[in-house]
Amino acid sequence: MEQAILSIQSFVSLGHVGNRAACWALERLGLEVWPVPTVWFAHHPGYGPPAGSRFDADWLAAVLDGLLAAAPLARCGAILSGYLGGVDQVPVVAAATGRLRKLRPGLVWLCDPVLGDEESGLFVPPALAARLREELVPAADIVTPNRFELSWLTGMPVEDRPSARRAAAALRGGGPRTVLATGIPAGKGRIGVLLESEEGSLWIDTPRLACCAHGTGDLLAALYLGWLLRGRGARAALERAIATLFAVVECTVRAAAGELRLSPEAVRAAENPRFRAVEL
């Protein structure tokens, strides 16, 4: 039976962030996506203040209620939540995930805590960041913070692999079973991803490419979750997700593009991953 993923995050008309990246990745893996936008913007904020709408809690709740009433919920294998448009959306997302979990006890919830990055710092209101940390992150099965977000969520420095492991362990202690931390410095010219779970620690690093396009974290979260739903274990899912992400970034850099270049070749890169995870 084809599995479906409920994806609650941003939508933009220009670029490949949020649901634009997630839907591309998940559909290429043969999964059905039920996208629900938390905002609809002309573009991501990298172009400046975007035109568009941030949907209020009533609108978001109505869309989710309507979807869950009509959708074949027996096929829903996972929830993917990402960028939220306001504090009032937090309890709506929490309620929807709680409702689905009761109906689908084996369902996996991946929460991408989109709060900020190294260049911009915190780019959501502090009140929203705090509610994410207090309510959504502890309840999720998997969280995928970048280096800045991991540090902000734990109050711990993240400068290298050892400090990332300490912070990820602390974050796991608060609830989530798995922490997939991205953007970890890995020595000269390299960047790494750390996966911490009850099964142990995995590490994978790649060359650091000069890419300024937004959406790499959104894409990686969707790819990792998608491969899990396709039946791969954590190591294989991580290696395949990184293979496709790196191929996308390579293509983007070669084209000198300002937005991620999503191509079929990048998906095929997962068939024979170039980079392998190691156990720590």
Choose among 191, 184, 177, 179: nearest CA to 153: 179
Tens digits of pLDDT across the chain (280 residues): 679 999 999 999 999 999 999 999 999 999 999 999 999 999 988 888 889 999 999 999 999 999 999 999 999 999 999 999 999 999 999 999 999 999 999 999 999 999 999 888 999 999 999 999 999 999 999 999 999 999 999 999 999 999 999 999 999 999 999 999 999 999 889 999 999 999 899 999 999 998 888 999 999 999 999 999 999 999 999 999 999 999 999 998 998 899 999 988 898 999 999 999 999 9
Q: Which amino acid is at 266?
A: A
Q: How far apart are CA 207 and CA 188, in angstroms?
A: 9
Rounded to the nearest 10°, the torsion over CA 100, 132, 143, 172 is -110
Spatial neighbors of 160 by CB under 8 A, at least 6 apart, are 184, 185, 186
Q: How far apart are CA 32 and CA 46, in angstroms?
A: 29
Domains of the chain: 4-279 (3.40.1190.20)
Evaluate if pTM is beyond 0.85.
yes
Choose among 96, 93, 73, 107: nearest CA to 137: 93
The answer to whether the beta carbons of residues 26 and 7 sit under 8 Å apart is yes
